[in-house]
């Protein structure tokens, strides 16, 4: 399988090259040349597989340059760090199936992809010789999942910038109690936006980027999407027995990464995966896109589901490419026009296509808290992101059609929001409780490009 760019500006490359490239060199996003449709026999066989076995089979269809034995070992190692034998178990609460994606080391769904990506980076650097200094800014969640993905790995250092004293106590501890020698936590005396601007400036400094082999772990890496395709197929095959019909999914959405993985899974198995419900919080860029046909940046609103407080969806371009019948020229023109005007509008025929690919709903703050309360009374505690998805999932659920709602974080990670809904904070799971007594390590630095640059240069591999 070769990989191409949504903007058509690079010659086809291998899977490993696509993983190491991250963002395509022409500014586009990387995609496989083809997404193969699976036949009935394959799906019937896959129904019998464990999560790890299924992950190996799915990856094998998209990986052209890693020997099967090595790939299998990478998959096994990545999911050994999960604390549930099924990796992503399903729990049925009334008519809804909740797909729990939070059994990894940082208790959020990003672990499913980042545990794999960390192992993959280490493997490829060892194989091809090389080093990498990962640099990222976080408002809380992605940082810890990235740190856990690469802690202790050879030939990789990671620098994560978080705004000092502006992330939750749990989020801070999840990052700063990782004291492996290759992990550098920078507590920035500034805001998340300051951190992001500094990271952007360092990546744009091509001399600096090359000299220190800067790498990113943001959600545009194809390997992250690929790892997420697995649980859609896994869940659908578990919910529907042999010979049985489709399954709908509801997905709490921020950067469009997770739901794009669902889109890929549906292209592989259109008889198995039905409706994809795109659920947003009040940052409704994407639900407006689906329901009104306009894609226009607004201001970020802070909500109870902060990991979805996003106003530019970094994976949107991948969908756009399919929406434009895989025409790289049209995709490039649209993205360039978006970059200059901050908005895109779509013609009626295109809007109809979008409407047949996704259903969408914005779920407000009150509705989110109410959903947490309602499910708490049923004996199941939702985190606020999951609650957004469950609300939308219930609104689109149809009789006789199973609805799977993706649970993207453990409720204890967002204890404040849960307490606002039900009056008390959830009990901390052992892994989080143990963190409270651990040594934590971070460096407080000024929100100044030169200061950060000098720090990274000093500790980079």
Ligand X SMILES: *Cc1c(COP(=O)(O)O)cnc(C)c1O
Q: Would you tell me which residues interact with ligand X (CB under 6 A)?
A: 108, 110, 141, 219, 252-258, 307-308, 385, 408-409
* Closest to ligand X by CB, 118 or 122: 118
* Closest to ligand X by CB, 13 or 101: 101
* Closest to ligand X by CB, 170 or 447: 170
| Inter-residue contact 105 to 111 (CB < 8 Å) | yes
- Our answer to whether residue 110 is catalytic in this structure is yes
* Closest to ligand X by CB, 255 or 291: 255
Minimum distance of ligand X from residue 136's CB (angstroms): 13
| Inter-residue contact 104 to 88 (CB < 8 Å) | no
Q: In the structure encoding, which two tokens stand for residue 342, read together? A: 């901050």
* Closest to ligand X by CB, 190 or 254: 254
Minimum distance of ligand X from residue 232's CB (angstroms): 13
> Among residues 2, 72, 110, 209, which one is catalytic?
110
Minimum distance of ligand X from residue 182's CB (angstroms): 23
Minimum distance of ligand X from residue 202's CB (angstroms): 23
* Closest to ligand X by CB, 54 or 406: 406
| 3-class state of residue 447 by DSSP | coil
Whole-number Å distance between alpha carbons of 62 and 419: 43
Q: Where are the beta strands (DSSP E) in 124-194?
A: 132-137, 156-163, 183-189
Alpha carbons within 13 A on the beta-carbon side of 429: 15
User: Which CA distances in Å does 177 have to 65, 89, 191, 285?
Assistant: 36, 28, 21, 35
Beta carbons within 8 Å of 180's beta carbon, 6+ residues apart: 151, 152
Alpha carbons within 13 A on the beta-carbon side of 224: 28
Alpha carbons within 13 A on the beta-carbon side of 325: 2
* Closest to ligand X by CB, 32 or 257: 257
User: Which CA distances in Å does 143 have to 110, 266, 306?
Assistant: 10, 29, 14
Whole-number Å distance between alpha carbons of 412 and 194: 28
- Alpha carbon 283 to its chain's center: 17
| 3-class state of residue 320 by DSSP | helix
Q: Where are the beta strands (DSSP E) in 111-155?
A: 132-137
Minimum distance of ligand X from residue 228's CB (angstroms): 8
Residue 162 phi/psi, 5-degree rounding, is: -120, 150
Minimum distance of ligand X from residue 106's CB (angstroms): 9
What is the DSSP track for 94-108? TTEEEEE---STTSB
Given the structure tokens 């500094």, which residue do they identify? 198
Minimum distance of ligand X from residue 69's CB (angstroms): 31
**Known catalytic residues?**
110
């Amino acid at each position: 399988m070769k990989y191409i760019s949504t903007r058509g500006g690079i010659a086809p490359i291998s899977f490993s090259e696509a993983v190491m490239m991250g963002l395509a060199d022409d500014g586009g996003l990387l995609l496989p040349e083809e997404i193969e449709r699976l036949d009935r026999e394959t799906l019937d066989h896959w129904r019998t597989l464990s999560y790890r076995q299924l992950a190996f089979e799915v990856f094998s269809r998209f990986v052209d340059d890693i020997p099967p034995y090595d790939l299998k070992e990478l998959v096994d190692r990545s999911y050994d760090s999960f604390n549930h034998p099924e990796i992503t178990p399903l729990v049925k609460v009334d008519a809804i199936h909740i797909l729990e994606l939070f059994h990894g080391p940082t208790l959020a769904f990003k672990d499913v992809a980042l545990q794999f990506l960390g192992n993959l980076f280490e493997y490829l650097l060892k194989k091809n010789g090389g080093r990498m200094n990962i640099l990222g800014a976080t408002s809380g969640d992605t940082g810890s999942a990235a740190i856990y993905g690469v802690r202790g790995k050879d030939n990789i250092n990671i620098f994560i910038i978080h705004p000092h004293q502006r992330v939750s106590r749990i989020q801070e501890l999840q990052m700063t109690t990782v004291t492996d020698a290759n992990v550098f936590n920078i507590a920035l005396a500034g805001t998340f936006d300051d951190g992001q601007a500094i990271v952007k400036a360092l990546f744009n400094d091509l001399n600096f980027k090359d000299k220190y082999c800067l790498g990113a772990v943001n959600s545009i890496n194809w390997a992250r999407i690929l790892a997420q395709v697995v649980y859609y197929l896994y869940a659908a095959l578990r919910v529907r027995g042999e010979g049985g019909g489709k399954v709908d999914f509801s997905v709490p959405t921020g950067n469009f990464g997770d739901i794009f993985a669902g889109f890929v899974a549906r292209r592989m198995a259109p008889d198995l995966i039905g409706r994809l419900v795109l659920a947003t919080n009040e940052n409704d860029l994407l639900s407006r896109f689906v329901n009104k046909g306009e894609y226009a940046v607004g201001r970020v609103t802070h909500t109870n589901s902060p990991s979805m407080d996003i106003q530019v969806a970094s994976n949107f371009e991948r969908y756009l490419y399919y929406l434009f019948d895989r025409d790289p020229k049209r995709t490039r023109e649209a993205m360039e026009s978006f970059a200059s005007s901050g908005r895109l509008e779509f013609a009626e025929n295109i809007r109809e296509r979008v409407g047949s690919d996704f259903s969408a709903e914005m779920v407000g703050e009150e509705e989110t808290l109410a959903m947490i309360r309602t499910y708490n009374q049923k004996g199941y505690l939702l985190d606020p992101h999951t609650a957004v998805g469950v609300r939308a999932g219930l609104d689109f659920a149809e009789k006789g059609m199973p609805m799977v709602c993706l649970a993207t974080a453990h409720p204890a990670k967002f204890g404040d929001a849960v307490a606002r809904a039900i009056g008390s904070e959830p009990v901390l799971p052992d892994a989080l409780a143990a963190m409270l007594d651990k040594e934590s390590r971070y460096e407080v630095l000024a929100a100044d490009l030169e200061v950060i640059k000098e720090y990274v240069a000093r500790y980079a591999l």
